[in-house]
Structure 1
Amino acid sequence: MMKQGEQHHVRNLTGSTNDLEKYAQEVLKEMIREGIPPTPSNFDAYFDKLLDGKPAAFRKRILKLLELEDGGEDNHHGVLEQYLKDAFGNVKKFLQHINLLYKNLRHLEHMLEKRLLETEAVADKDSLMTLLDVLKKDVQTMNKIIKKEAGELKERYESTSELVLEVQDYAIHEERYGVYKKNYLLTKMRKEEKLIAEFGHESTLMMVRASDKILSQITRPKVRHLILRTVARLLLKTSRRSDVVAHYEDETFAILMRHTSLDSAKQAAMRLKDLVGNTNFFVGDREVVLDVDIGIARISLDRSSEQTVICALHGLDIAYQQGDVCGICPHDK
């Protein structure tokens, strides 16, 4: 028999599930009404897009259900990348231990040679010399074996090192900030351009840079990293599940916002600005209020992905110079 608390939990879960079913039907109807093909990728983007307009209590119930889902393929790749890096670290440590053992054996061999020279001053030394000769041969044999093994391990280490470097070139996660890498962002942008060409929807790129006014006051690398890590965390907090949050370069991050118009991107920029403006921390006795500059550009078929990035960066510079919440690429106004 269920306890009262368990019955209450089941009722809540059932109610949320019913809400989810009704909402999923609403999303599907809206996509059909706007002529958007109900592919899994498009459905995911529209699911997040329409959820923004729902009451806070409803969003909370739906998001709580979604938390029960698996993290997805990209998160799985991220875990595999971390496993590979950890394995590489273990191989490196293992080789270091082998190298230390080899050095110790070399030291032992030199010590035996020294002792052999010392025994030459002994009058009755035949048996001792025989014993030391045998011991030296044994050590030399061991030394050759260890040296051979160390050479093979070194080759394996170098091969593994090259493999890891190649994997890192294809890695999609930026572990320093917990977001995606630049190469993954550009790949996703090119795919989005193909989808826009096929289905005609709108998508937007947002570039976000930690304020130079704030960073210029910080000289300690660890504190600068903390600031950038905080910016990345806030971007993840304000983004939708279908968005791609990535570290572009230096102090600049990017968000690919699928199925998002320029007007919707402006509203998102305002929410982000408010959130960032309410974030502060202390550096010594001095309070620092976080700030960012934001630029946005439409994903356009009339230019390449790289040109769209440049366009959004131009908007970012405009926001910085004019003190606006966000700057829009001049070509997209």
Structure 2
Amino acid sequence: MERGGRYRAHDLGEPTSDLEKYAKEVMDAMIREGIPPTPSNFDAYFDKLLDDKPPAFRKRILKLLELEDGGDGDHQGVLEQHLKEAFGNIKKFLQHINLLYKNLRHLETVIEKRAFEADAIADKSTMKTLLESMKKDIKTMTNIIKKDANELKETYESTTELVKEVQEHAIHDERYGVYKKNFLIRKMQQEERLIKEFRHESTLMMVRASEEVIARLKSPKIRQLVLRTVARLLLKTSRRSDIVAHYDAGVFAILMRHTSLQSAQMAADRLKDLVGNTNFFVGDEEIMLDVEIGVARIDLDRSIEQTIVCALDALDIAKKIDEPCGVCPQDVEI
């Protein structure tokens, strides 16, 4: 830009950098296919077209996006983790107060015992007066602690309810580093509204670790480690616009926006190959990781629950026919 705020002519000409050229390509593709160029749609198409680019180009673009993101997407997860830690600290604090109260009660009992023993001591009047005075002081302290403990208990119970409410609305599953089921459902509802408005295609993918692999793992900790590995692989292979979530009982889901059923099947093939190259050792035994994958269209003629069930059925189909990916029976007919 020149002095005075005027732009040079070439600043407004054709794009020159790789990122500028690619952004123009994305916009042209959206206009050509009749996709409204909203920020959300542009983000999804930006990721979609990137899949077909050479690896070196994808790497350069993704590096730029990482620099732009700056890690802000993890803010919600960090906040939820801090809330959990604060809850743990409050619980420990109350436990310490309870311990202090028990110790004071024990001290009161000791004083009473010593008062009984003092009856046998000469100059009982002086000794008794002293012990009674001590007993009175201890009782006063005990009443104060009781009152504080009750107030702390009420605060603790109130905080517990608040934390539980936060946990119910939390969107991150800390066990696997992905979203929770409630967030997935919300995003599917939002995607249905977008599909109704703009008529694009989106797909739901379900993924679970092979039951044969899980059955060979006797340790719950090892099973949890395997599921975390699956979650990391899903995050690694998914687009930024995809929603990766833990659905239930070790089954993961990916909401793939602006993705046809055929494209989702191709993505499933890539995921299957990546997982097939992942192994781990349990003692001296080497175990190759494997997953089952099922896909279903986000179909406005059925409910979200029906689409999820359809994708889960496709998981069983993949296992039955021994294919990389099973397809919802209703969508096969289409």
| TM-score range for the pair, normalised by the shorter chain length | over 0.9
Distance in 2, Cα, partners of 1:129 & 1:102: 25
Deviations 1:28-56 (A, max 9, x none): 12111111111111111111001111111
Q: Give the partner amino acid of 1:134.
A: S
2:283 aligned partner: 284
- 1:71-150 maps to which residues of 2 (within 5 A)? 75-150=74-149
Is 1:35 the counterpart of 2:43? The answer is no
- Higher mean C-alpha displacement, 121-130 vs 168-177: 121-130
Is 1:197 the counterpart of 2:178? The answer is no
Distance in 1, Cα, partners of 2:330 & 2:73: 33
Q: Give the partner amino acid of 1:319.
A: A
2:7 aligned partner: none
How far the C-alpha of 1:73 sits from its partner, in A, is: 6.4
1:70 aligned partner: 69
How far the C-alpha of 1:249 sits from its partner, in A, is: 0.7
SS of the residue corresponding to residue 36 of structure 2 reads coil
2:305 aligned partner: 306
2:213 aligned partner: 214
Deviations 1:170-211 (A, max 9, x none): 111110001011111111001101100000000000000110
1:11 aligned partner: none
Is 1:22 the counterpart of 2:37? The answer is no
How far the C-alpha of 1:325 sits from its partner, in A, is: 0.7
Deviations 1:68-107 (A, max 9, x none): 1235765322221111111111100110111111111111
Q: Give the partner amino acid of 1:155.
A: E
Identity of aligned residues (%): 72
Q: Give the partner amino acid of 2:278.
A: T
Distance in 1, Cα, partners of 2:126 & 2:167: 60
Deviations 1:146-168 (A, max 9, x none): 11000110111111111111111
Distance in 2, Cα, partners of 1:125 & 1:226: 70
1:319 aligned partner: 318
How far the C-alpha of 1:123 sits from its partner, in A, is: 2.0
SS of the residue corresponding to residue 68 of structure 1 reads helix
1:5 aligned partner: none
Q: Which runs of 5+ in 2 are unaligned?
A: 1-15
Q: 1:194 to 1:73 in 2, by over 3 A?
A: farther
Q: Give the partner amino acid of 1:63.
A: L
- CA-based RMSD of the aligned residues comes to 1.2
How far the C-alpha of 1:125 sits from its partner, in A, is: 2.2
SS of the residue corresponding to residue 240 of structure 1 reads coil
SS of the residue corresponding to residue 25 of structure 1 reads helix
Residues matched between the structures, number: 317
SS of the residue corresponding to residue 241 of structure 1 reads coil
1:230 aligned partner: 229
Distance in 2, Cα, partners of 1:77 & 1:71: 14
Distance in 2, Cα, partners of 1:107 & 1:241: 60
Distance in 2, Cα, partners of 1:105 & 1:74: 49
* TM-score, L = length of structure 1: 0.93
1:329 aligned partner: 328
Q: 1:263 to 1:306 in 2, by over 3 A?
A: same
How far the C-alpha of 1:251 sits from its partner, in A, is: 2.1
Q: Give the partner amino acid of 2:150.
A: G
SS of the residue corresponding to residue 37 of structure 1 reads coil
Distance in 2, Cα, partners of 1:200 & 1:280: 41
Distance in 2, Cα, partners of 1:275 & 1:212: 18
* TM-score, L = length of structure 2: 0.93
Distance in 1, Cα, partners of 2:26 & 2:137: 78
Q: Which runs of 5+ in 1 are unaligned?
A: 1-16
- 1:41-56 maps to which residues of 2 (within 5 A)? 41-56=40-55
